[in-house]
A and B are shown apart, each in its own frame.
Chain A
Amino acid sequence: MRARAAATLLTLLAVTGCSAGGGAADDGSEPAPDDTLTVLAAASLTETFTTLAEEFEAEHPGVEVSLAFDSSATLAQQALEGAPADLLATADTRTIESAADALAAAPEIFATNTLVLVVPAGNPGGVTSVDDLVDGGYVACVETAPCGATWAALAADNGIDADPASLEVDVKAVLARVVADEVDAGIVYATDAVAAGDAVETIELPGAEQQVTSYPIAVLAQSSRPDLAQELADLVLGETGRQVLADAGFGVP
């Protein structure tokens, strides 16, 4: 309910915002000092995209990159509703395709990720493998989120039928539950485990490499600065992006 209300508000803002910023801008000129690029990015991209946004701002004085991290499904929905944003980066191809009508160009894959099992530091639940998962003893993403869909496939591969304690809407929420030691284990991306540092211990999931999720990025149709948005996408897809993403534990295509 809340997300939809927010989306509707954003739509209203977009209507007013687009009329002000429309029209093909003169290429090659210095961006106006008040230029803002809004990026909708999957929750698992929080650390890497924050770094890349800073990089981009350093290269483009006067440009401000504003980042919104959420569940990929929520972001795709917001983009479709006309949220005043310039770029969309989701954690799987399925979610970005659901926003196909809002994309200015075909999405490009810039990273891959795999799932791991994380337990709180000290492993209070004594979980050593995926077979130790019991009913209510772990948390995972809801199936509509890429992390949940991937986990559902992986759980099926491993013949796991233990129910999670809770289905969180995005992977950072799962990680938060584990870091806070509210549950014995959680299913997150390898990169989230890296980002959490010493707060969690990581356990490999058998067959995880068979269920790789790919991260696509695309400029949005409602972007008021599609040229600048494409430059940011190029940064993510290019050498700088590869480096930052690889450092965070992402696979790069």
Chain B
Amino acid sequence: MTLTAPPPRSATTTRHLGRPPLVLLVPAVLAATLLVLPLVTLVLDTPWGTFWSELRSEPVRRALALSALTSGLTVVVCVALGTPLAWLLARVEFRGRGLLRAAVAVPLVLPPVVAGVALVTALGRNGVVGSLLRETTGLTVPFTTAAVVVAHVFVSMPFYVLSVEGALRTAGERYDVVAATLGATRWTTFRRVTLPLALPGLVAGAVLAWARSLGEFGATITFAGNFPGTTQTMPSLIYTTLQADPAAARTLSMILLVVSIGVLAGLRHRWLRPL
């Protein structure tokens, strides 16, 4: 998983190994360039003069507000539903556990647009569950803000669940067992012992899920649509703006990049510790 931090390494070990061989250095520099160059050019290419007026414009404010709302709700849903699922996967033996874990991980590797298509087949107006819902309650999910949250949860939940499950496994069952021998019920053990021990993993998972939700585009535009105020999130707005005004789209991208870097800064204990 991407969550593992690089092993700590002291500067002295490399010094004695001599100069890094070119055969490693050249591809390493190429790789770093490929990752960094587009971001640098984006920063340089952004029309900064209009940055603030763009940021305060009506479409951007609405898209930012919607992105904040939906990604916030996504994190809430992930924590509320994902924590018990992670606990189930980490602590309870049952048939098909491996299969369930694999299923949870699938959205991680699924192209987002496929996720959107899958959601339409399930919850679309004519979807398996969607048509039932429509017949019984008259409600339809697509083209609503709820659809955006559903799409975001679908793609973000695996990040959260796998992160929390990893934390639960790392913390181990020893303290749980001790609590149980002292007479604590499973629920009390979970609340007072398991959860506090796994808290860093929970926070990291929540931040990851939030970041994934903020950048979600493919599933959202496929399943929820694209309308200002209800379903148009920042990535959808950027895609739409690109059709007419690439310079403005760069500014909007910059706004999202700034937010993403903020998220990374929040995660620095996990990823940036070697710095």
Q: Which residues of A are interface residues toward B (Cβ below 8 A)? A: 1-5, 8, 71, 73-74, 77, 136, 139, 142-145, 163-169, 180-183
Q: State A161–B142 Cα separation when bound (angstroms).
A: 21
Out of B126, B235, B244, B253, which one reaches A144, CB within 8 Å? B244
Question: Do A4 and B246 touch across chains, with their CB atoms under 8 A apart?
Answer: yes
Question: Do B240 and A169 touch across chains, with their CB atoms under 8 A apart?
Answer: yes
Question: Do A165 and B143 touch across chains, with their CB atoms under 8 A apart?
Answer: yes
**Residues of chain A with a CB closer than 8 A to B231's CB:** 166
Q: State A139–B143 Cα separation when bound (angstroms).
A: 10
Q: State A165–B226 Cα separation when bound (angstroms).
A: 8
**Residues of chain B with a CB closer than 8 A to A183's CB:** 125, 143
Q: Quick one: closest B residue to A165, CB to CB?
A: B143
A166-B226, A167-B227 known; A77+B143 contact, CB < 8 A: no
A1-B238, A74-B243, A169-B239 known; A136+B253 contact, CB < 8 A: no
Out of A71, A142, A143, which one reaches B226, CB within 8 Å? A142
Q: State A180–B217 Cα separation when bound (angstroms).
A: 21
Q: State A4–B238 Cα separation when bound (angstroms).
A: 10
Question: Do A181 and B125 touch across chains, with their CB atoms under 8 A apart?
Answer: yes
Q: Quick one: closest A residue to B143, CB to CB?
A: A165
**Residues of chain A with a CB closer than 8 A to B239's CB:** 1-3, 169
Question: Do A166 and B225 touch across chains, with their CB atoms under 8 A apart?
Answer: yes
Q: Give the number of residues in B that approach A within 8 Å (Cβ atoms).
A: 26
Out of B120, B124, B226, B250, which one reaches A168, CB within 8 Å? B226
A4-B249, A181-B126 known; A165+B227 contact, CB < 8 A: yes
Q: State A1–B244 Cα separation when bound (angstroms).
A: 13
Question: Do A145 and B243 touch across chains, with their CB atoms under 8 A apart?
Answer: yes
Out of B124, B143, B226, B228, which one reaches A136, CB within 8 Å? B143
**Residues of chain B with a CB closer than 8 A to A182's CB:** 120, 124-126, 142-143
Q: State A28–B38 Cα separation when bound (angstroms).
A: 43
**Residues of chain A with a CB closer than 8 A to B240's CB:** 142, 144, 167, 169
Q: Report the minimal beta-carbon distance from A123 to chain B, rounded to whole angstroms.
A: 14
Q: State A218–B242 Cα separation when bound (angstroms).
A: 22
Q: Quick one: closest A residue to B241, CB to CB?
A: A144
Question: Do A3 and B120 touch across chains, with their CB atoms under 8 A apart?
Answer: no
A1-B253, A183-B143 known; A169+B243 contact, CB < 8 A: yes
Q: Which residues of B are interface residues toward A (Cβ below 8 A)? A: 38, 120, 124-126, 142-143, 217, 224-228, 231-232, 235, 238-240, 242-244, 246, 249-250, 253
Out of A74, A143, A166, which one reaches B242, CB within 8 Å? A74
Q: State A136–B228 Cα separation when bound (angstroms).
A: 12
**Residues of chain A with a CB closer than 8 A to B125's CB:** 181-183
**Residues of chain B with a CB closer than 8 A to A167's CB:** 225-228, 232, 240
Q: Report the minimal beta-carbon distance from A131 to chain B, rounded to whole angstroms.
A: 21
Out of B124, B143, B246, B253, which one reaches A166, CB within 8 Å? B143
A167-B226, A167-B227, A183-B143 known; A73+B243 contact, CB < 8 A: yes
**Residues of chain A with a CB closer than 8 A to B227's CB:** 163-167
Q: Report the minimal beta-carbon distance from A198 to chain B, rounded to whole angstroms.
A: 17
Q: Quick one: closest B residue to A74, CB to CB?
A: B243
Q: State A136–B243 Cα separation when bound (angstroms).
A: 23
A136-B143, A169-B240 known; A180+B126 contact, CB < 8 A: yes
Q: Report the minimal beta-carbon distance from A87 to chain B, rounded to whole angstroms.
A: 20
**Residues of chain A with a CB closer than 8 A to B249's CB:** 1, 4
Q: Report the minimal beta-carbon distance from A97 to chain B, rounded to whole angstroms.
A: 13
Q: State A181–B124 Cα separation when bound (angstroms).
A: 9
Q: State A228–B239 Cα separation when bound (angstroms).
A: 33
Q: State A143–B243 Cα separation when bound (angstroms).
A: 9
**Residues of chain A with a CB closer than 8 A to B228's CB:** 167
Q: Report the minimal beta-carbon distance from A222 to chain B, rounded to whole angstroms.
A: 18
Q: Quick one: closest A residue to B222, CB to CB?
A: A173
Q: State A19–B229 Cα separation when bound (angstroms).
A: 47
**Residues of chain B with a CB closer than 8 A to A74's CB:** 242-243
Q: Quick one: closest A residue to B250, CB to CB?
A: A4
Question: Do B225 and A139 touch across chains, with their CB atoms under 8 A apart?
Answer: yes
A1-B253, A166-B143, A169-B239 known; A180+B244 contact, CB < 8 A: no
Question: Do B243 and A142 touch across chains, with their CB atoms under 8 A apart?
Answer: yes
Q: Report the minimal beta-carbon distance from B219 to chain A, rounded to whole angstroms.
A: 13
Q: State A142–B227 Cα separation when bound (angstroms).
A: 9
Q: Report the minimal beta-carbon distance from B133 to chain A, rounded to whole angstroms.
A: 14
Q: Report the minimal beta-carbon distance from B26 to chain A, rounded to whole angstroms.
A: 19
Q: State A88–B250 Cα separation when bound (angstroms).
A: 25
Q: Report the minimal beta-carbon distance from A25 to chain B, rounded to whole angstroms.
A: 33
Those 4 A-B pairs whose CB atoms lie nearest each other, nearest first: A166-B225, A144-B244, A73-B243, A165-B143
Question: Do B243 and A180 touch across chains, with their CB atoms under 8 A apart?
Answer: no
A165-B227, A182-B125 known; A73+B244 contact, CB < 8 A: yes
